[in-house]
Amino acid sequence: MQEPNDTRTIQQIRKSRNRVLAFSLAGFAILVFFISIAKMS
């Protein structure tokens, strides 16, 4: 059986992992955007 503390820490780990994934995806999109602008000019 899981205790409430276990599920709370699992949710915190999942939330922080999703935040890191979102930031890395946004950073990659911005990087591709600036590279495409640099190639056009």
d(CA 21, CA 41): 31
pLDDT of residue 2: 57
pLDDT of residue 5: 66
Per-residue pLDDT of the chain (41 residues; tens, 9 = 90+): 556 667 779 899 999 999 999 999 999 999 999 999 999 98
For residue 25 the two structure tokens come to 């995806």
d(CA 33, CA 41): 13
d(CA 12, CA 7): 9
pLDDT of residue 38: 96
Predicted structure pTM score: 0.67
